[in-house]
Chain A
Amino acid sequence: AQSVTQPDIHITVSEGASLELRCNYSYGATPYLFWYVQSPGQGLQLLLKYFSGDTLVQGIKGFEAEFKRSQSSFNLRKPSVHWSDAAEYFCAVVDSGMDSNYQLIWGAGTKLIIKP
């Protein structure tokens, strides 16, 4: 079965420092990949998505992610974090297996903590 792994449960970063959140997936062909952000007490908001084409994808709020087929990864990056980026971040991949009807498989999430 397909799976999505976010190895870091929590990450603490100083304000102004760079950020990389890791996401690995298990899937043979080119997947459809998403990053969502969830602010405390809120629903999920799409940051960016990759379906095909350029492997470096730009998203909202200054985030970007790079699809690396050889590493089965889709890591999220931001050059300089702001206190408002404190949130939980979820990686998801489309399940294109038989009978899946293309539902999303979600990682467990990474909570980002910003140090002042």
Chain B
Amino acid sequence: NAGVTQTPKFQVLKTGQSMTLQCAQDMNHNSMYWYRQDPGMGLRLIYYSASEGTTDKGEVPNGYNVSRLNKREFSLRLESAAPSQTSVYFCASSEVRQGASADTQYFGPGTRLTVL
């Protein structure tokens, strides 16, 4: 049981390049999330997927796209990277039980992205 896995762990891009961050979970969770973490700002939600087949914007979606490929996998794509997207990216998943509005989120180890 690996939990939430993310690839790659590190990436350096040049401005304008594109890339896709991969995330997979093996806990059979319905909900998945992409966050970015910047110093002094906590975590900010980029996109989330409440269930397979649905995606919604979070607080900072500009410059990103996502795909919920199946129940296990949720990818984040940067079409044209900018230096402002230099950050640490975390994927998380959650099983929101029936009747509950929220539950624990389980996090991957993160991807450290630098855009030059």
Query: Residues on A close to B: CB < 8 A?
Result: 4, 9, 32, 34, 36, 42-46, 49, 51, 90, 94, 96, 101-104, 106-109
B74 interface hit (Cβ, 8 Å): no
Beta-carbon contact of A103 and B58 below 8 Å: yes
Query: What residues of A have a CB within 8 angstroms of the CB of B92 in the complex?
Result: 44
> What per-residue 1/0 map shows which CB atoms of B78-116 lie under 8 Å from chain A?
000000000000101000100011101111111000000
Determine the distance from Cα of A12 to Cα of B79 in the docked complex, in whole angstroms: 42
The contact size tier of chain B is 20 to 34
Query: What residues of B have a CB within 8 angstroms of the CB of A9 in the complex?
Result: 40
Beta-carbon contact of A106 and B42 below 8 Å: yes
Beta-carbon contact of B109 and A32 below 8 Å: no
Beta-carbon contact of A43 and B104 below 8 Å: no
Query: What residues of A have a CB within 8 angstroms of the CB of B50 in the complex?
Result: 101
Beta-carbon contact of A104 and B90 below 8 Å: no
Beta-carbon contact of B102 and A109 below 8 Å: no
